[in-house]
A and B are shown apart, each in its own frame.
Chain A
Amino acid sequence: MKSRRQFMSESAIAASSLAFPLVGGAQAKSVKVGIIHPVTGALAYSGQQCREGALMAIEDVNKAGGIKSLGGAKLEALLGDAQSTPQGGSAEVEKMNEAGVSAIVGAFASAICLATTQTAAKYNLPHIVDVGVADQIVERGLKNTFRFGPGYKKCAEIAVANLHVLNTAAGKPAKTIMIIHEESLFGTGTANLLTRELPGYGYDVKEVIKHPNPSRDFSNIVLRMKQINPDIVIPANYYNEYALLVRTMQQQKVVPKAIYSVLGGAASSYKFVKEYAEAANGIIDCNHWFNPKDKKAQELKKRAEAKGLYFSYELFMSYTATKLLAQAIEEAKSADRAAIIDALNKTKFSDHIMPYGQTQFVNGQNMGAQPLMTQVIKGDIKVIIPRDYREAEPIFPLNA
C-alpha cells in the first residue's frame, strides 16, 4: 500500500519493522492522529467502543472535507493497543511519537491515561483524554493534556447536589444512604468524594461497601442492604458488577426508594436496559451523556446502532474528543504540535453533541463539562436534570 511505504520511510529504523495499522486514505497531505485504547485485556470492551467512536469521528471529518485550513488534508488514524496496562499505553505513545503523529486521543482508563499523557508530555505531544475521570490526570501541570469531559470530582458534586434537589422536591423522603463501589481507582475515588459531600447536605451514609473487580457474587452485599435498609443505594462500578448487583437486588426483592448511581457502569447503558428491562427500571444515573435535544446526536446514535454497536458513553465521549482535536487542528491551521496545544487552550469548540456549557480549557480541563442525570423510564433512558435538557419528569422516590 502506498501509504504504508510512505510512512515507513518517514519513521525511525525500529518502527519500520513494526507496521502500524493505517486507517483512512493517506494522500499527499494528511495529519496523523494517534488513537490509543485498551482493546485487549480486561478493558477490551470499553477500549473497543472508544476506538469505534474515534474512527467514526475521523470518518465524519474526512467526509466533510478534511481540515479545510490545511487545504482539505485528511485525518489519518494510527491505532494503538494499550493492552489494559499503563506500560502498554506508554509504549504505544512512544511508537506514535516516532511515527510522527500530531496528537493523541485516548486512553479511556484513568490509570492508563496517567501514563500516556506523561509520556506524551516528553515530546510536547498534545493528548486529549477521552474518558479518564480521575482528577489527577489534569492536576499535574502537564501542558499537553486536555480533557473535554468532566472529572469525578465534578460528577460527584453534581450528583450530590441534584440528589438533594430531587429529594427536597419530593418532600425529603430519603435520608439514609448505602454506597457500593468497585475497589479500584474509579470506584474508590468516587466513593471517597461522595462520602465527603453527602453529610454536608444532611444525608446519613450508613455504609460504604467495597467489592472486588471482577466480582462473582453480590448476595452478601444485598443481604446487608436488607439489614440496613437504606433509602438510597448508590452504586459506582463497571458494567458486569452493576448488572449482577441490580439483578441480585431484584431477585432478593430489595427495593430502595431510589437507585442513584454516580458514573454507574450500566445505569445509563442501552445494553443494560435492553437486557434487564425490569431490573433497570427507574434507575437514576449521573453520568456522561449526550445532548438529547441535538439531532446530530440522534443521528450518530442511529449510525452506531446500524453498525451493531451500543451507543455507550465510551463511544460518544471518544467521538467528541476526536472532533475536538479536528477543530483544534483546523484552528491551529497547522499540524504542528505546539500550535495544536495553543489552539486547544484557546478553542471555543461548539460543534459537538455534548450538553456542555461554553468550552473553556483551564489547566487542561474543560470548565464547561458536566455530567447529566438520567433515569430509565419505560425501557428508555431519559434525561431528567438539568432542565435545559430534560426529556421526562423524574420519578423520585420510586415508590412511596
Chain B
Amino acid sequence: MFDLSIVFSSVLNGLTMGAVYTLIALGLTLIYGVLHIINFAHGASLMVALYGVYFLKVKLGIDPYLALPIVVPSMFVLGYFLQKIIINHASHGKDENILLVTLGVSIVLENLALLSFNSDTRNIEIGYTLTTVAVGPAMIALPRLLSCLGALVVSLMLIIFMKKTDLGKAIRAVAKEKAGARLMGIDVEHVYAMCFGIGLSCLGAAACFLLPAFYVNPTVGNGFVLVAFTIVVLGGMGSFLGACVGGLLIGVIESVGGLFLGDSLGQVGIFVIFILVLLVRPQGLFGAKA
C-alpha cells in the first residue's frame, strides 16, 4: 500500500510532533495531577507564550531557541500569579467553580490577544526553518528535530526536579495527601501556585520549540487542548514519564492513522484510544492505581 520509506517517515514525523505534544502535556499533567484541575486555560496560555516568543523575535530579534531563558521564567511568573490571585480565590476550592474560572481565564486571554494583536496569523522566518535533516529515507525539518531534543531535556529536568528537590517532594506530598502535607508544615497554597507556574513554564518551552514550525494567532491554542488531555490521561495523571511516552505514542498514532485513514478520519484514532484507555485502564500507562 505505502512504501516502507513513507511509513517510516510518517512514524518519524509522528515522533517529532509527539515531542511537541509532550511538552504541552507535561505542564498539564502536573497541574492536573497535583491540583486536580481541568485547566481550560491551557491552550490560551500556550497562545500567550507563542506571542511572547513571536514578539521577542520580531521586536528584539531574539531567536526562539535563545529566548528560552526569557520565556520560561516569564510564563512561570504568569502561572504563579494566575493561580495564587485568580484561580485560588475565585474557586473557593470547589471543583466545578475552578472549571468555570479557568474557562473564564481562557476567554479573557484569547480575546485580550485579539484586541491587542488583532486576528492576523503571524509567522517568523528564520534561516533554518526550512532546512531538513535526512534520517534514513525521511527528511525531517530541523525545528522539529530540535523540539524532540527539547522535549527530552525538559522531561528529564522535570523528573529530576520532582525526585530530588525539596519543592518537588513537597509537590508530590501535596498531590498524594493534601491534609497530611499541610499538617507537616507545607504551605499548600504556595505549592499549588508553584505547580501552576511550572506547568505554564513547560508551555513556555513548548512555545519556543513550536513557533518556528508553526504560527500564532489568538485561537491557536484550541487545537492542542484535546490532544493534550488525551495524552495526560493515556500517560497517567501526574506522571511525567507517562506524558513523554503518551505524547510520542499519540504523535505516532495520529501520524500513521492520518497516513492510512486520511488526516481527518485519522484523528478518530486518538480519541478511540482515549476511550479505550479510560475504560480499560483509567490510570493510564504509568499512573498509580487510584
Mark A245-285 against chain B: 1 for CB-CB distance below 8 A, else 0.
Answer: 00100111100000000000000000100010000000000
A220 touches B263 (CB 8 A): yes
A240 touches B13 (CB 8 A): no
Shortest Cβ gap from B127 to chain A (Å): 13
Q: How many residues of B contact A (CB 8 A)?
A: 36
Contacts of A44 in B (CB 8 A): 114, 118-119, 218-219
Contacts of A253 in B (CB 8 A): 132, 139
Of B1-9, B69-77, B173-181, the one contacting chain A is B1-9
A227 contacts partner chain B, Cβ-Cβ < 8 Å = yes
Contacts of A243 in B (CB 8 A): 121, 123, 215
B136 contacts partner chain A, Cβ-Cβ < 8 Å = no
Shortest Cβ gap from B151 to chain A (Å): 16
A251 touches B139 (CB 8 A): yes
Contacts of A217 in B (CB 8 A): 13, 17, 255
B17 touches A216 (CB 8 A): yes
Of A8-16, A150-158, A204-212, A392-400, the one contacting chain B is A204-212
**Alpha-carbon distance between A47 and B119 when the two chains are bound, in angstroms:** 9
**Alpha-carbon distance between A217 and B3 when the two chains are bound, in angstroms:** 20
B267 touches A212 (CB 8 A): yes
Shortest Cβ gap from A113 to chain B (Å): 19
Contacts of A209 in B (CB 8 A): 262-263
Given contacts A217-B17, A219-B13, A223-B9, contact A212 B263 (CB under 8 A): yes
Given contacts A183-B264, A210-B262, A250-B130, contact A219 B121 (CB under 8 A): no
A4 contacts partner chain B, Cβ-Cβ < 8 Å = no
Query: Chain A at the B interface: mostly helix, strand, loop or mixed?
Result: helix
Mark B117-140 against chain A: 1 for CB-CB distance below 8 A, else 0.
Answer: 011110101000010100000010
A239 touches B262 (CB 8 A): no
**Alpha-carbon distance between A214 and B224 when the two chains are bound, in angstroms:** 10
Contacts of A223 in B (CB 8 A): 6, 9-10, 13, 259
B1-50 residues with Cβ-Cβ distance < 8 A to A are: 2-3, 6, 9-10, 13, 17
A215 contacts partner chain B, Cβ-Cβ < 8 Å = yes
Mark B213-250 against chain A: 1 for CB-CB distance below 8 A, else 0.
Answer: 01101111011100000000000000000000000000
Which residues of B pack against A, CB within 8 Å? 2-3, 6, 9-10, 13, 17, 111, 114, 118-121, 123, 125, 130, 132, 139, 141, 214-215, 217-220, 222-224, 255, 258-259, 262-264, 266-267
Which residues of A pack against B, CB within 8 Å? 40-42, 44-45, 47-48, 183, 209-212, 214-217, 219-221, 223-224, 226-227, 239-240, 243-244, 247, 250-253, 271, 275
> Can you list 21 A-B contacts with CB-CB less than 8 angstroms, sorted by A residue number?
A44-B114, A44-B118, A48-B118, A183-B264, A209-B262, A209-B263, A210-B262, A210-B263, A211-B262, A212-B264, A216-B17, A223-B6, A224-B259, A226-B6, A227-B2, A227-B3, A240-B215, A243-B121, A243-B123, A251-B130, A251-B132
Would you list the 7 A-B pairs with minimal beta carbon distance, nearest first?
A: A44-B119, A45-B119, A219-B13, A211-B263, A220-B258, A210-B264, A214-B223
